[in-house]
């Protein structure tokens, strides 16, 4: 009896310890899985993979070969694929059977890792593929003779059917090899739709046998924009490229094996400069045109004449042959009606068809081609502008100008893919713009993407069924290299993948972030140039109380004391000092900061030059308020030691719409100086103009000022806004600077007659 009790007692203790162990284990184990599976149950023990592990699967299974190849590439193991059970072998089995899920889902899978076997079970090969992706994310990164994977039972299925990523290959062209890599990234995150933006004003990228000039002429442009659009600089290098139909077939097949559908986009009626440069007869004016060298929206578009429809139907026929996707994307966005309004042919079509206006003409254009696509047993999808003038009867809508178009379409019982600029445009900045490579604009952090909910609250349960899913867009005006695509797409793609998989929980962003930082090790391992902007190192300058220079305050969402810094040419590395309190900056210098953890630099390095003068950090007041849009209108921006960036203007600049700049700086005591430097911006495209005149005044008491210098508009222009004024030696406490606003925009400039902007940055007094 005693013995029995003792045994049970020990057994109970043993169970208790195991349970505690397991609890402790699950409390600290963060599986680096993205997207997060629906259900994860950690179990005790681990499975060992080594050179003699067998993949038990159908010999012809792509998934088995794929798994074999991945493990070969990672670890050098040469696993054999067997259709027959091998006694005592360590086995990874891939079986087609309905997994143990509560609701049947054709994409569902179960990944069960036991000490003696890994089983992936799914109803379809796509489910098997997803199970493999989960397994691959669980494998250790260290190479070894054998590797261990912890036991776990994962049951998983996605929420949305359209788990998409887009890539614009017109603004910049990406070689076949990189397109495959991009498809691999989608596959890693169990995304299933690749929207391939193949044509646009700046280049036609798909071979069409019947119209060779589309690529021979339309595939090449004479130059490209350098820097930001605002700078209006264009180089003179011939730029272009295209995919042959063989390339396309190869990529479509590559994607299909990875359970990714490619939805090709052929743009009409707008964004057609490359096509009408090659075939000007399909425009309203007949041209001649040039493939666009600048970004933007162009007035010359397809003209809805009969020959144009034949041309586009021929193109669509070849496209449909190449792409087995249910949907063909026809663009439809940003089509100006300028030419149509004055085109005899367009107006006669409006009359003939009894259309109300040019919006209805656009709808007629798209509906006609929809009929053609439908006749080939396919459907069209277009950007939300296709709602204007009436939606084609069977069209799906991709909602990009917010969610309004998507909501409207769903209410009309049309299918919708959500891709609003606010959350899904991965060409936007993802961190503090001044620390990021030049982007088109916007601000869409990983956290913001993660917070996205594709099904709008405005829809009823019935209407919600029309939301197919969501998609991230990578427009490439400012993305010219594969590594830059990686930077902009990742990790935002990972965040969106979890959103469309349906396991993202906005309230648990921290949980996602924990998995993501671990997942970064895998991205490092693969050599992917992902963005580290989640470390979000932000710097803020404040006055130094003792009056000399400024204080540099550094912050991050992570542990701020793990930030290290260095000055000027000192290297920034593990030996650099850690940040504990604001840095005093009292002379010209360049500060570098980065986030370090576990002996490794985690963030990118942020570098900030400082320009320190006698006015830096001093009290500055404005007579008239600056616009709150820039630097929140805070005049301290003018004496913070940081010079405004000519492209990224959200911070450091002050902008005045109508008012003069009238700033008074209190140097706190009588101060000798003989030079003032000021910087003004000119960007007529954005209505920003130099001031008409500049006046500098000084005072000892802050009440009575005398003028010590005046600079005229011609001199400001001659100095290109970088104004330096030298004086005879001065000794003053207060310096007043008046920059007279240029007023209404003059003839010959964009926005003529409107109020211009005056932009000024740092004021340096020495
Ligand atoms: C778009 O961004 N023009 C769809
Ligand atoms: Zn026309």
Partners of residue 110 on adjacent β-strands: 121, 155
Average pLDDT over residues 714-728: 96
Report the separation in Å between the CA atom of 398 and the middle of ligand 1, taken as the mean of its atom positions.
10
643-667 tens-digit pLDDT: 998 888 888 999 999 899 999 999 9
Ligand 1, pocket-test mutation among 334, 385, 422, most atoms within 8 A of CB = 334
Report the separation in Å between the CA atom of 171 and the middle of ligand 2, taken as the mean of its atom positions.
26
| pLDDT reported for residue 545 | 82
% of the chain with per-residue pLDDT over 70: 96
| pLDDT reported for residue 50 | 93
The pairing of strands 563-567 and 589-597 is antiparallel
| pLDDT reported for residue 17 | 47
Average pLDDT over residues 168-172: 98
Report the separation in Å between the CA atom of 587 and the middle of ligand 1, taken as the mean of its atom positions.
46
Q: How far is CA 663 from CA 528, 623, 641, 693, 734, in A?
A: 48, 7, 16, 14, 10
Q: Cα separation of 714 and 743, whole Å? A: 16
By CB neighbour count within 10 A (0-12 exposed, 13-18 middle, 19+ buried), where does 287 fall?
Answer: middle
Ligand 1, pocket-test mutation among 475, 477, 478, most atoms within 8 A of CB = 475
> What is the chain's length?
766
Query: Of 566, 475, 492, 597, which Cα lies nearest the Cα of 534?
Result: 492
DSSP 755: B
**What 3-state DSSP class applies to 393?**
coil
Helix (H) or strand (E) holding 482: helix 482-489
Indicate the average pLDDT of the chain: 94
Q: Cα separation of 325 and 319, whole Å? A: 10
Looking at the annotation, which residues are catalytic?
200, 271, 334
Q: How far is CA 511 from CA 24, 494, 514, 718, in A?
A: 17, 14, 5, 56
Q: Cα separation of 366 and 381, whole Å? A: 10
Q: Cα separation of 252 and 200, whole Å? A: 20
Report the separation in Å between the CA atom of 282 and the middle of ligand 2, taken as the mean of its atom positions.
8
Number of the ligand 1 atom closest to the C-alpha atom of 421? 2
Q: Which residues sit with Cβ closer than 5 angstroms to ligand 2, an ion?
A: 284, 303, 343, 345-346
Report the separation in Å between the CA atom of 200 and the middle of ligand 2, taken as the mean of its atom positions.
19
Partners of residue 195 on adjacent β-strands: 166, 263
| pLDDT reported for residue 103 | 62
Counting ligands in written order, the one closest to the CA of 424 is: 1
The pLDDT confidence band at residue 24, using thresholds 50, 70 and 90, is very low
Q: Cα separation of 187 and 70, whole Å? A: 13
User: Hunting for tokens 């254009």 — which residue is that?
Assistant: 365
| pLDDT reported for residue 536 | 86
Partners of residue 382 on adjacent β-strands: 397
Residues with CB under 6 A from ligand 1: 333-334, 383, 400
Query: Of 165, 131, 116, which Cα lies nearest the Cα of 61?
Result: 131
| pLDDT reported for residue 271 | 98
DSSP 376: T
Whether residue 496 has pLDDT greater than 50: yes
| pLDDT reported for residue 4 | 44
Report the separation in Å between the CA atom of 511 and the middle of ligand 1, taken as the mean of its atom positions.
32
DSSP 282: G
Average pLDDT over residues 422-426: 98
Average pLDDT over residues 87-114: 88
Number of the ligand 1 atom closest to the C-alpha atom of 473? 2
Whether residue 760 has pLDDT greater than 80: yes
Counting ligands in written order, the one closest to the CA of 349 is: 2
Residue nearest to atom 3 of ligand 1 (CA): 333
| pLDDT reported for residue 88 | 85
Report the separation in Å between the CA atom of 641 and the middle of ligand 2, taken as the mean of its atom positions.
55
Kindly report the CA angle at 657 between 651 and 662, in degrees rounded to 5?
A: 80
Number of the ligand 1 atom closest to the C-alpha atom of 383? 4
For residue 250, give both structure tokens.
């190869």
Q: Cα separation of 307 and 318, whole Å? A: 17
Ligand 1, pocket-test mutation among 166, 400, 444, most atoms within 8 A of CB = 400
Q: How far is CA 75 from CA 51, 525, 762, in A?
A: 9, 12, 55
Per the CB < 8 A criterion, the answer to whether 119 and 93 are in contact is: yes
Counting ligands in written order, the one closest to the CA of 339 is: 2
Average pLDDT over residues 546-554: 88
437-477 tens-digit pLDDT: 999 999 999 999 999 999 999 999 999 999 999 999 999 99
| pLDDT reported for residue 7 | 45
Query: Of 404, 424, 422, which Cα lies nearest the Cα of 473?
Result: 424
Counting ligands in written order, the one closest to the CA of 405 is: 1
Q: Cα separation of 109 and 157, whole Å? A: 7
| pLDDT reported for residue 650 | 83
Average pLDDT over residues 24-48: 87
Would you put residue 656 in left (φ > 0), alpha (ψ -120 to 50) or beta? beta
Q: Cα separation of 321 and 196, whole Å? A: 16
Number of the ligand 1 atom closest to the C-alpha atom of 271? 3
Average pLDDT over residues 92-102: 84
Query: Of 28, 31, 36, which Cα lies nearest the Cα of 495?
Result: 36
Instruction: Find all residues with CB under 8 Å of 456, minimum gap 6, and list them.
Output: 403, 406, 407, 410, 418, 467
| pLDDT reported for residue 5 | 43
Report the separation in Å between the CA atom of 380 and the middle of ligand 2, taken as the mean of its atom positions.
23
Domains and CATH numbers, the chain: 30-156 (3.30.379.10), 162-525 (3.20.20.80), 536-610 (2.60.40), 619-765 (2.60.120.260)
Query: Of 661, 662, 645, which Cα lies nearest the Cα of 653?
Result: 645
Per the CB < 8 A criterion, the answer to whether 219 and 200 are in contact is: no
Helix, strand, coil shares of the chain as percentages rounded to 5? Answer: 30, 30, 40
308-349 tens-digit pLDDT: 999 999 999 999 999 999 999 999 999 999 999 999 999 999
Number of the ligand 1 atom closest to the C-alpha atom of 334? 3
User: Hunting for tokens 């005149």 — which residue is that?
Assistant: 693
Ligand 1, pocket-test mutation among 166, 202, 383, 477, most atoms within 8 A of CB = 383
| pLDDT reported for residue 81 | 97
**What 3-state DSSP class applies to 540?**
strand
Counting ligands in written order, the one closest to the CA of 267 is: 1
Report the separation in Å between the CA atom of 290 and the middle of ligand 2, taken as the mean of its atom positions.
18
Per the CB < 8 A criterion, the answer to whether 293 and 223 are in contact is: yes
By CB neighbour count within 10 A (0-12 exposed, 13-18 middle, 19+ buried), where does 718 fall?
Answer: exposed
For residue 417, give both structure tokens.
């893919």
Average pLDDT over residues 691-703: 96
How much is the pTM?
Answer: 0.91
Give 454-463's long-range contacts (Cβ < 8 A, gap of 24+): 454/160, 454/418, 454/499, 454/500, 456/403, 456/406, 456/407, 456/410, 456/418, 458/407, 459/407, 459/410, 459/411, 463/410, 463/411, 463/413
Residue nearest to atom 2 of ligand 1 (CA): 400
577-593 tens-digit pLDDT: 999 999 999 999 999 99
For residue 106, give both structure tokens.
């054709």
| pLDDT reported for residue 102 | 62
Report the separation in Å between the CA atom of 344 and the middle of ligand 2, taken as the mean of its atom positions.
7
Number of the ligand 1 atom closest to the C-alpha atom of 398? 4
Counting ligands in written order, the one closest to the CA of 346 is: 2
Whether residue 305 has pLDDT greater than 70: yes
Report the separation in Å between the CA atom of 451 and the middle of ligand 2, taken as the mean of its atom positions.
44
Average pLDDT over residues 621-635: 95
For residue 698, give both structure tokens.
């000084």
530-546 tens-digit pLDDT: 999 999 899 999 999 87
Q: Alpha carbon 429 to chain centroid distance?
A: 7
Partners of residue 593 on adjacent β-strands: 565, 606
């Amino acid at each position: 009896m005693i013995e029995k009790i003792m045994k049970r007692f020990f057994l109970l203790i043993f169970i208790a310890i195991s349970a505690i162990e397991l609890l402790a284990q699950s409390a600290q184990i963060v599986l680096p899985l993205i997207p997060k599976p629906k259900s994860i149950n950690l179990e005790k023990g681990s499975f060992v993979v080594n050179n003699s592990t067998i993949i038990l699967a159908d010999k012809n299974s792509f998934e088995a070969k794929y798994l074999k190849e991945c493990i070969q590439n990672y670890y050098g193991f040469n696993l054999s694929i067997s259709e027959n059970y091998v006694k005592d072998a360590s086995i990874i089995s891939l079986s087609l059977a309905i997994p143990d899920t509560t609701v049947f889902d054709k994409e569902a899978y179960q990944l069960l890792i036991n000490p003696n076997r890994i089983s992936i079970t799914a109803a379809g090969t796509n489910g098997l593929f997803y199970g493999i992706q989960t397994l691959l994310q669980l494998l250790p990164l260290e190479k070894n003779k054998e590797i261990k994977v912890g036991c776990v039972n994962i049951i998983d299925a996605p929420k949305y059917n359209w788990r998409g990523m887009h890539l614009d290959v017109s603004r910049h062209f990406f070689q076949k090899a990189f397109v495959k890599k991009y498809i691999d990234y989608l596959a890693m995150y169990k995304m299933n739709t690749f929207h391939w933006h193949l044509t646009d004003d700046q280049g036609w990228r798909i071979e069409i046998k019947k119209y060779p000039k589309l690529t021979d002429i339309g595939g090449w442009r004479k130059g490209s924009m350098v820097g930001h659009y605002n700078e209006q600089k264009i180089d003179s290098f011939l730029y272009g490229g295209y995919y042959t139909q063989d390339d396309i077939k190869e990529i479509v097949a590559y994607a299909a094996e990875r359970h990714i559908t490619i939805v090709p986009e052929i743009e009409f009626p707008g964004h057609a400069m490359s096509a009408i440069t090659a075939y000007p007869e399909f425009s309203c004016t007949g041209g001649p045109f040039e493939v666009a060298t600048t970004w933007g929206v162009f007035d010359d578009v397809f003209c809805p004449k009969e020959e144009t429809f034949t041309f586009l139907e021929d193109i669509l026929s070849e496209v449909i042959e190449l792409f087995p996707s249910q949907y063909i994307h026809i663009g439809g966005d940003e089509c100006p009606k300028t030419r149509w309004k004055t085109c005899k042919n367009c107006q006669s079509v409006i009359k003939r068809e009894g259309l109300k206006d040019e919006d209805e003409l656009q709808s007629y254009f798209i509906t006609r081609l929809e009929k053609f696509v439908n006749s080939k047993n396919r459907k069209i999808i277009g950007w939300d502008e296709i709602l204007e003038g009436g939606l084609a009867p069977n069209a799906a809508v991709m909602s990009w100008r917010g969610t309004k178009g998507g909501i409207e379409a769903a209410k009309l019982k049309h299918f919708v893919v959500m891709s609003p600029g606010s959350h899904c445009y991965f060409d936007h900045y993802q961190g503090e713009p001044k620390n990021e490579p030049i982007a088109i604009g916007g601000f869409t952090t990983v956290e913001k993407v993660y917070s996205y909910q594709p099904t709008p609250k405005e829809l009823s349960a019935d209407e919600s069924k029309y939301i197919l899913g969501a998609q991230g867009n990578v427009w490439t005006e400012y993305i010219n290299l594969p590594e830059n695509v990686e930077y902009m797409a990742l990790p935002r793609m990972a965040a969106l993948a979890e959103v469309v998989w349906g396991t993202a929980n906005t309230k648990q962003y921290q949980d996602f972030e924990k998995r993501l930082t671990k997942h970064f090790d895998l991205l490092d391992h693969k050599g992917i140039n992902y963005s580290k902007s989640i470390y979000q190192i932000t710097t803020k300058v404040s006055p130094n109380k003792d009056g000399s220079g400024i204080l540099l305050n550094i912050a991050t969402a992570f542990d701020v004391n793990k930030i290290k810094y260095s000055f000027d040419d000192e290297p920034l590395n593990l030996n650099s000092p850690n940040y504990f309190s604001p840095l005093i900056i009292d002379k010209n210098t360049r500060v570098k900061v980065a986030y370090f953890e576990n002996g490794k630099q985690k963030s990118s390095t942020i570098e900030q030059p400082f320009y320190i003068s006698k006015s830096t950090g001093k009290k500055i007041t404005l007579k008239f308020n600056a616009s709150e849009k820039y630097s929140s209108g805070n005049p301290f921006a003018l004496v913070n030691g940081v010079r405004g960036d000519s492209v990224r203007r959200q911070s450091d600049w002050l902008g005045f719409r109508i008012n003069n700049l009238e700033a008074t700086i209190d140097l706190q005591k009588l101060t000798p100086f003989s030079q003032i430097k000021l910087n003004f911006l000119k960007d007529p495209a954005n209505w920003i103009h130099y001031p008409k005149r500049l006046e500098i005044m000084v005072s000892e008491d802050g009440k009575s000022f005398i003028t010590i210098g005046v600079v005229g508009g011609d001199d400001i222009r001659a100095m290109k806004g970088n104004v330096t004024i030298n004086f005879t030696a001065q000794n003053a406490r207060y310096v007043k600077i008046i920059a007279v606003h240029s007023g209404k925009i003059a003839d010959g400039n964009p926005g003529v007659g409107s109020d211009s902007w005056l932009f000024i940055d740092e004021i340096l007094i020495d």
